[in-house]
């Protein structure tokens, strides 16, 4: 079978690790698929590549599919890599910010990637913070340019250099900033921080086109099984996270990764619930990105739902 491409918007990260590990541990090959990772940043470019046929899958933020597929036409979510919105609000220690105090963003510059920043903007609205009135600057991180950038690491470096006051980025970025004693975690949405409802703004998902799903459903099903089996294997043998990290990540991040995955394991569930879809739909409508409420099966490739809880043996 020819090589298929799976785009991720950030490779040195825990956010899309189930997809990365599925490639590196051989779970796609076990399903008969020859899949290669391709780093494409930012996420809208990854989905544009999916739309244009340059890649077959995107492992990224679910809501961002709208960047290339208006009104969600032509794309479907195949499964979740993990549940919940997975970005952290981290502020420089010099700001004096504390855990849970969202007001610390007032008058500050916050680095965030395109489309990722939407989660923060909506969260701030729900928390009663007016970005303009309270002079909150949310903008791309200095130096985060080019399609092969690893955004989280770039954000952590920019924070350390005082180029920004804070960032909204992945768990690896947060861990690096905390580890270097330059950052304080203010919000960790997955673990209960932030306004009610923000957990389901988005999730790390696996997506593909209606075109592939219709013409080659066996390939789409195989991809879902690969992710489900990877999640199950990491839950049972966390040492494999280290194995993958040493192959893919720089030394420091490879050392940090296993602990991040251990914390993420409770969210390793491939299912996409109607509640999640309803909440994400509302989030997108509130942002003016979607016109009205779509049905569950307009967002999700429901023919693969039965595969979400059916792991098989890991490859030898």
Q: What is the pLDDT of residues 254-267, one digit of tens each?
A: 999 999 999 999 99
Q: Ramachandran region of residue 126, left (φ > 0), alpha (ψ -120 to 50) or beta?
A: alpha
Fold agreement between 4-84+202-307 and 88-199: yes
d(CA 89, CA 87): 7
DSSP H or E run through 92: strand 88-92
d(CA 118, CA 138): 10
**Residue-wise pLDDT tens digits, 71-121:** 999 999 999 999 999 999 999 999 999 999 999 999 999 999 999 999 999
Q: Six-digit token pair at 10?
A: 């950030």
Q: Which of 5-19, 26-40, 131-145, 187-201 is predicted with the least confidence, judged by mean pLDDT?
A: 131-145
The domain limits of the chain are: 4-84+202-307, 88-199
Q: Are 267 and 82 in contact (CB under 8 A)?
A: yes
**Residue-wise pLDDT tens digits, 136-177:** 999 999 887 766 678 888 999 999 999 999 999 999 999 999
Asked whether residue 312 carries a pLDDT value surpassing 70, the answer given is: no
Q: Are 119 and 85 in contact (CB under 8 A)?
A: yes
Strand locations in 62-210 (E): 75-82, 88-92, 109-112, 137-139, 166-169, 183-188, 204-209
Query: What's the rounded mean pLDDT across residues 204-232?
Result: 98
Q: Are 55 and 6 in contact (CB under 8 A)?
A: yes
Q: How many helices (H) and strands (E) does the chain have?
A: 12, 10
Asked whether residue 314 carries a pLDDT value surpassing 70, the answer given is: no
Q: Would you state the pLDDT for residue 313?
A: 42
Q: Which CATH class is domain 88-199?
A: alpha beta
Listed in sequence order, the DSSP H helices in the chain are 17-24, 27-30, 43-51, 117-126, 151-160, 171-179, 210-215, 217-236, 239-248, 251-264, 274-286, 296-299
| CATH code linked to domain 4-84+202-307 | 3.40.190.10
d(CA 315, CA 233): 10
| Measured CA angle at 178 (ends 172, 102), to 5 deg | 90
Q: Are 146 and 125 in contact (CB under 8 A)?
A: no
Q: Ramachandran region of residue 92, left (φ > 0), alpha (ψ -120 to 50) or beta?
A: beta
**Residue-wise pLDDT tens digits, 273-293:** 999 999 999 999 999 999 999
d(CA 147, CA 43): 9
Round to the nearest angstrom and report the end-to-end CA distance of the chain. Answer: 21
d(CA 235, CA 172): 19
Q: Are 278 and 256 in contact (CB under 8 A)?
A: no
d(CA 4, CA 24): 14
């Amino acid at each position: 079978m020819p090589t298929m491409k799976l785009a991720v918007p950030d490779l040195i990260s825990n956010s899309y690790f189930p997809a990365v590990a599925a490639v590196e541990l051989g779970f796609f090959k076990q399903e008969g698929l020859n899949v290669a990772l391709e780093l494409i940043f930012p996420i809208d470019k990854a989905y544009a590549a999916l739309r244009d046929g340059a890649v077959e899958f995107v492992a990224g933020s679910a809501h961002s599919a709208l960047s290339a597929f208006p009104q969600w036409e032509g794309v479907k979510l195949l499964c979740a890599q993990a549940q919940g919105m997975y970005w952290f609000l981290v502020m420089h220690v010099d700001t004096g910010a504390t855990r849970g105090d969202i007001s610390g963003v007032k008058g500050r510059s916050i680095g965030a990637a395109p489309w990722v920043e939407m989660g923060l903007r909506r969260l701030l609205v729900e928390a009663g913070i007016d970005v303009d009135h309270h002079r909150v600057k949310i903008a791309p991180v200095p130096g985060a340019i080019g399609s092969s950038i690893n955004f989280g690491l770039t954000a952590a470096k920019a924070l350390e250099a005082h180029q920004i006051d804070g960032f909204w980025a992945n768990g690896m970025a947060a861990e690096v900033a905390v580890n270097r004693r330059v950052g304080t975690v203010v919000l960790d949405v997955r673990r209960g921080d932030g306004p009610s409802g923000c957990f389901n703004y988005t999730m790390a998902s696996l997506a593909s086109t209606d075109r592939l799903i219709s013409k080659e459903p066996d390939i789409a099903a195989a991809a879902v099984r690969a992710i489900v089996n990877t999640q199950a294997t990491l839950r049972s043998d966390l040492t494999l996270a280290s194995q993958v990290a040493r192959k893919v990540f720089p030394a420091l991040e490879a050392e940090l990764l296993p602990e991040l995955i251990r914390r993420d394991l409770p969210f390793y569930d491939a299912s996409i619930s109607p509640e999640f879809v309803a909440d994400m739909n509302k989030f997108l409508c509130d942002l003016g990105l979607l016109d009205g409420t779509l049905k569950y099966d307009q967002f999700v490739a429901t023919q693969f739902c039965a595969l979400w809880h059916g792991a098989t043996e890991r490859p030898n």
